[in-house]
Amino acid sequence: MSTRNAGLILLLATLITTLLILTLGSLPVADALRATPVAEGHTELEPQGLLRLAGLVKPLLFMGFSGGLTLLILKGSNSLSRMRKNRRS
Partner 1 sequence: MDADLSPTPSRPPKTTNTTRRNWQLDVLLFVVFMLVSAPLTTGIPLHEWLGLVIFAPLFYHLVWHWKWVAGVFTRTSRKLPPHTIFAKWFNLALFFMMLLAGVSGLMISEALLPMLGWMVGPDNFWLTVHKASATLMMLLIGLHLALHWPWILQRLKRQPTGGTTR
Per DSSP, helices labelled H in 1-89 are 3-24, 28-35, 57-88
**Among 12, 52, 78, 84, contact with partner 1 (rule: CB under 8 A):** 52
Closer CB to partner 1, residue 40 or residue 87? Answer: 40
d(CA 58, CA 75): 25
d(CA 64, CA 34): 33
Tally of CB atoms within 10 A around 8? 11
Closer CB to partner 1, residue 47 or residue 83? Answer: 47
Do residues 80 and 87 make contact, with C-beta atoms less than 8 angstroms apart? no
The contact mask relative to partner 1 for 22-51 (x = CB under 8 A, - = no) is x-xx---xxx-xx-xxxxxxxx-xxx---x
Closer CB to partner 1, residue 39 or residue 88? Answer: 39
Applying CB under 8 A, which residues contact partner 1?
A: 1, 3, 6-7, 10, 14, 17-18, 21-22, 24-25, 29-31, 33-34, 36-43, 45-47, 51-56, 58-60, 62-71, 74
